[in-house]
Amino acid sequence: MLHTWKAWFERNEKWVGPIGFLTGFIFDNLTLTRVDQWLDNLIIAGYIILTGLCIVILNLYSAGRIQYRIVEKYVDFLPFVLQFAFGNLFSAFVVFYTRSGSLAGSWLFLLVLVVLFIGNERFRRWYGRFVFQISIFFIAVFTYSVVIVPVLLRRIGPWIFIIGGGISLLLICVILYGMWRLIPERIWRSRYLLGICIGGIYLLFHLFYFTNIIPPIPLALKESGVYHLIVPTGYGGYRVTFEPAPWYMPFHKYSTTYHQQGETGVAYAYAAVFAPRRLTAKIVHHWRYFDEKKGRWVDGGEFGYEIVGGRDNGWRGYTLKQRIFPGRWRVDIATDRGQILGRIKFKVVQSDIIPKLVTETR
């Protein structure tokens, strides 16, 4: 029976990978909902444990330290299992990180995750190499620690990131030490390359974080918009008035053209930011306008407020800008460190005609 399955797998290998790739990505998009849900974290932790076990078993077997019949029977499938687990891990990371960050500020890190996810099929022949296995595993562990440590400690910030990185480094060192006790010749032979790869990944993650390339996960922007009026309704809710999007913008809730009477007016920037339960953070709205003469964006003011996590649809808050004038405007919704969650773009147009307005409750 096993030989039949193995023969079928070898005949259909070129289809099994892409189908599993697509199915896993769709599954993750549908099932991974919140970074603080125990089931979501259990799935990701399970994949990390599975990849670690595959790496250890593959290397112990190839070094002749494992000779159990059950391992010999299934060892040929382990590289595929390893590839499958890594693919699902990076699929989950792509889902979580794209929900958290803005492409404007985090495109480079998101591109790295997408390359690791899509390129997983191309890495098949590399999964038999010990240093490559450990390097990809360390990237996966580090990427997950950036998510789970803030959830557990209910805080975000540089020291939380450093703690997460330290835990990742400690875990990989413990695994390598355990393997060194069992297969010292393999670890010793690869020690320099392992040090370069692990050290390089560790430094690169910190470079990405302190240059605000890594998205501000576990925060995520749920909704945002520019409104004509926002009135608190009690219990944390708001009544918002805005210009609805025209018919040719079916995927927009509000119009990106903001009509105002007179040369100056008032605009409200609204944002609902998700955070895990009991996590607190400061959100800042950076208002900017485009100076046509200078040909660049000019600072128009910064306004911030505190959020508390736990609400599925995000903590609701807003800022307002007085004496807003015609031209191109944008509002960057960011953390107090400048990590961008999202961006509102709109154009202010002076008009004597009162625009059609819609009022809703948020």
The domain boundary, picked from 210, 237, 253, lies at 210
Instruction: Give me the mean pLDDT over the 268-278 stretch.
Output: 92
Is 186 within the bounds of a domain? Answer: yes
Domain boundary (184, 210, 236) is at 210
Q: How remote is the C-alpha of 317 from its chain's centroid? A: 22
Mean pLDDT rounded to a whole number for the chain: 84
191 with 231, same domain: the answer is no
> 19 and 43, same structural domain?
yes
247 and 176 in one domain?
Answer: no
Q: Quick check: is 22 in a domain?
A: yes
The CA-to-CA distance between both ends of the chain, in Å, stands at 58
Identify the pLDDT of residue 119. 58
99 and 119 both lie in a single domain: yes
CATH label of the domain that carries residue 328 = 2.60.40.1930
Q: By percentage, how much of the chain surpasses pLDDT 90?
A: 41
Is the residue at 215 inside a domain?
Answer: no
**Same domain (yes/no): 201, 295:** no
Kindly state whether residues 251 and 206 are assigned to the same domain.
Answer: no
Token pair belonging to 308: 């508390």
User: Who contacts 163 (Cβ-Cβ below 8 Å, separation ≥6)?
Assistant: 149, 153
Regarding predicted confidence, which is higher, 129 or 321?
A: 321
d(CA 148, CA 138): 15
One domain for residues 47 and 180: yes
Residue 38 has pLDDT above 70, yes or no: yes
Identify the domain containing residue 334 by its residue range: 220-361
Residue 32 and residue 161 in one domain: yes
Total number of domains in the chain = 2
| In a shared domain, residues 189 and 228 | no
Domain membership flag for residue 307 = yes
Per-residue pLDDT of 91-139, as tens digits, reads 888 778 777 766 555 666 667 766 766 655 565 565 557 888 899 899 9
What pTM was estimated for this model as a whole? 0.83
